[in-house]
Amino acid sequence: MLCSDKLRIVLAASEAVPFSKTGGLADVSTALAKALDAMGHDVTLIVPDYRVLRLARQEYLPVVSDTGLRFGISIGGKYVTAGVNWTALPNTGVKVLLICQTDYFDRPQLYMEAGEGYLDNCERYCFFSRAVLTICQQMVLRPDIVHCNDWQTGLIPALLHSVYAGRPGFENAASVMTLHNMAYQGRFWHLDMPLTGLDWKYFNLNHMEMYGDVNLLKTGIAFSDQITTVSPTYANEICTREGGEGLDGLLGYRRGDLTGILNGIDDDIWDPNSDPLIPAHYSVTNIDAGKPACKARLQERLGLPSRNDIPVFGMVSRMSDQKGFDLLASCASRLLAHDIQMVFLGTGEPRYESYLKHLAAHHPAKVAIYVGFDESLAHQIEAGSDAFLMPSRFEPCGLNQMYSLRYGTLPIVRKVGGLADSVVDTNAVTLATNTATGFVFDSYDSNALAETVERAIDLYSEPDQWRRVMTNGMSIDWSWQNSAKNYIDVYRKALERRFDRTSDGRE
């Protein structure tokens, strides 16, 4: 037996709600930590302390205290010192350690400003990765599993394999690397290699080098004991030339160690029966008790006519080609020829922000847009819309389609990644078998999107059929419990692989 049933798990991530967030990684980091804790495991979440951002929203956060620990790391030709703050996730046993280094993390944003990444991002996150293991050692965490997330923590598996191999406290530690989005890899010029603290011998095609650069995501894939990504379909996609973003060869080589696990959702936050951010509550058994009121309030808030006889199509998204905004722009006139309303929330490429503002100005009774982010409005769009648009070019997992299903809002999605794994198309067969949960199209084509939206408009005119599809989606359990069980299985595999490597001298 490699370890007891109770695992000591360190989750390392560059962001986690409620402390910091730019995307789904932040939601997943916290929700998985909570689910693993609920299963009885010892969980420590380690993130950077973006102190400026944290203090700006202090009223929403648990109390953060100073541990008193100080440490230093030689990096970039200097000795950089840092401290560690700590707190706990409310109503859990999850310990949160926040690495406090003002030069690296006290900035207005996490990774970039004005669309440009910080020039020292390699140094910042090499420091973070090295600090995670320094803290594990100095605080005697003795992890069984170090679970890393995306390129910002990709250095950690390599450090465990080399610098920390056999050190006290890491004798049995195995690494798991989760790939949330292959489009972001942490590629930096080769002269940043000394920042990693690793020998130049690892700067090679099999480990860290990619087209002459240091690639931190590749590093994590090459050295980790097990690899996961955020949906089964995406696990297959990233092993192809089209989806692998240049790393398909390495991922294909490690296919036996790669598992796709569909994310869950945090039902403490996303539950229409208790959500404090929506104007009326409802559940699968009493949809009419609240959803029409949520729709009317959404229309009122966004200045649209209050009409329940037409469908409202919502979208909460980064406004970019990846999210299908090019398709939407190509077919918007066709869609708006129908008696519908469309509501948008998000930020992104200026051309799409401007286009949607133009659309709203010319169709004030049909289109509303809020450029920016508003948490309450995001929840109200999920609750008040009839259907939710996610025509993504690629989507590793996606969370909004699961929020939508939970809120009785039919998702309209392209058949990629986690969207393919979580939404069942509405057609004659799935209606007859009562398995339909939304609308799915395949080709990345504006005509395919328009035809799918028109199918939804047609079904909306059949209230009984629409309700059946709504209740099917609302009845699915999207909680993190099942996902967390799958992660435990991966952790066990990682420990077995670690044991095999060390027992035959391959460490």
- CATH number, position 339: 3.40.50.2000
Residues 464 and 470: their CA atoms lie apart, in Å, by: 10
Structural domain of 227: 13-264+481-503
Which pLDDT does position 24 carry in this prediction? 85
Are 489 and 384 members of one domain?
A: no
Q: Which candidate, 43, 141, 52, 138, places its Cα nearest to that of 100?
A: 52
Backbone dihedral angles phi then psi of residue 88, each to the nearest 5 degrees:
-135, 145
What's CA 3's distance to the chain center, in Å? 29
**274 DSSP 8-state letter:** T
Are 251 and 345 members of one domain?
A: no
Asked if residue 345 belongs to a domain, the reply is yes
Structure tokens at 214: 């240091």
Are 416 and 453 members of one domain?
A: yes
Are 91 and 20 members of one domain?
A: yes
Asked if residue 65 belongs to a domain, the reply is yes
Contact in structure between 224 and 231 (CB atoms under 8 Å): no
Are 410 and 348 members of one domain?
A: yes
Asked if residue 3 belongs to a domain, the reply is no
Asked if residue 275 belongs to a domain, the reply is no
Asked if residue 303 belongs to a domain, the reply is yes
Residues 480 and 262: their CA atoms lie apart, in Å, by: 9
Q: Which candidate, 132, 263, 117, 253, places its Cα nearest to that of 185?
A: 117
Asked if residue 6 belongs to a domain, the reply is no
Are 495 and 471 members of one domain?
A: no
Contact in structure between 24 and 163 (CB atoms under 8 Å): no
Which pLDDT does position 114 carry in this prediction? 80
Q: Which candidate, 398, 399, 430, 424, places its Cα nearest to that of 410?
A: 424
Which pLDDT does position 3 carry in this prediction? 47
Are 495 and 448 members of one domain?
A: no
Backbone dihedral angles phi then psi of residue 263, each to the nearest 5 degrees:
-60, 155
Are 327 and 353 members of one domain?
A: yes
Which pLDDT does position 504 carry in this prediction? 44
Question: Tens-digit pLDDT profile for the chain (507 aa)?
Answer: 344 589 999 999 999 988 998 888 998 999 999 999 999 999 999 999 998 888 877 777 889 999 999 999 999 999 999 999 999 999 999 999 999 999 999 998 999 988 789 999 999 999 999 999 999 999 999 999 999 999 999 999 999 999 999 899 999 999 999 999 999 999 999 999 999 999 999 999 999 999 999 999 999 999 999 999 999 999 999 999 999 999 999 999 999 999 999 999 988 889 999 999 999 999 999 999 899 999 999 999 999 999 999 999 999 998 999 999 999 999 999 999 999 999 999 988 999 999 999 999 999 999 999 998 888 999 999 999 999 999 999 999 999 999 999 999 999 999 999 999 999 999 999 999 999 999 999 999 999 999 999 999 999 999 999 999 999 999 999 999 999 999 999 999 999 988 776 544 445
Which pLDDT does position 501 carry in this prediction? 60
H/E element holding 113?
strand 112-113
Are 99 and 243 members of one domain?
A: yes
Count of domains in the chain? 2
Are 453 and 496 members of one domain?
A: no
Residues 190 and 187: their CA atoms lie apart, in Å, by: 9
Neighbours of 483 (CB within 10 A): 19
Q: Which candidate, 218, 220, 98, 77, places its Cα nearest to that of 148?
A: 220
Asked if residue 279 belongs to a domain, the reply is no
Residues 24 and 229: their CA atoms lie apart, in Å, by: 13
Asked if residue 273 belongs to a domain, the reply is no
Q: At what angle do helices 446-460 and 463-474 cross, to 10 degrees?
A: 110
Are 467 and 485 members of one domain?
A: no
Which pLDDT does position 412 carry in this prediction? 98
**241 DSSP 8-state letter:** T
Are 352 and 230 members of one domain?
A: no
**391 DSSP 8-state letter:** -
